[in-house]
Amino acid sequence: MLTLTSPIETWLHRWPVGVKLGLMALGTALVFPVQSPWVMGAALLALLALYLALGLRFARHGLAMLRPLWPFFLILALWHLWQDEIARGLIIAGRMGFAVALANLVTMTTRLDAMLALVERLLQPLRHIGVNPRMVALAMAMVIRFTPVLLDKMSQLMQAWRARSPKRVGARIVLPVVLLALDDADHVAEALRARGGL
């Protein structure tokens, strides 16, 4: 995943990035005060309908990208079952699912360079207090670009572990993942220096 933008072109790709980010912020702000599981369910169904309105292939790809949330949902479910607060657990899970799915929808339909250009523009007033907008935009680009790469490498390490040992992976994987991240950071820093730095 070199970029989060979906290759499946939709009408939402043509919307300005500022409008999409504004609507995402508004949608998330409106959902967080919700206390009814029925209203939360209706909001999730409306978001699902929006995904489907962009095409079945796009919706399938977008919903598949939400799979990493299932451990969080499982923890929430177990905790709220133990606390006997099932409705509260459903609302919290719904908020989290809605916020991530909405952010996912925006990133899938927005080019990374357009999003970073907007961030850089919005941060221009902070230049007067010593903030470099270009550096902040670059840092965001690095996080967005390298998080999926690091997750992919972690997945490969876990598969290699499982192929060689019947034991669970556990915390043993943390140090190799940290070393991989540091190695990648070193390579990126060298590449930036070779191109004149910032």
Query: Of 40, 37, 38, 61, which Cα lies nearest the Cα of 51?
Result: 61
Residue 1 banded pLDDT, cuts 50, 70, 90: very low
131: phi > 0 → left, psi -120 to 50 → alpha, else beta; which? beta
- 161 burial type by CB count under 10 A (0-12 exposed, 13-18 middle, 19+ buried): middle
Structure tokens at 11: 């009408």
Structure tokens at 54: 């962009």
For 135-175, write each residue's pLDDT tens digit: 888 887 788 777 778 888 888 888 888 888 888 877 778 88
Structural domain boundaries of the chain? 1-110, 131-198
pLDDT of 2 > 80? The answer is no
Structure tokens at 123: 């941060």
Query: Of 106, 142, 117, 152, which Cα lies nearest the Cα of 1?
Result: 152
Contact 112, 4 (CB under 8 A): yes
The residue type at 147: T
For 75-131, write each residue's pLDDT tens digit: 888 888 888 888 888 888 889 999 999 988 988 888 878 888 888 888 888 888 888
Q: Which residues are CB-contacts of 136 (< 8 A; sequence separation ≥ 6)?
A: 119, 120, 123
Contact 109, 12 (CB under 8 A): yes
- pTM for the structure as a whole: 0.69
**C-alpha span between 124 and 131 (Å, rounded):** 8
Give me the pLDDT at residue 72, please: 83
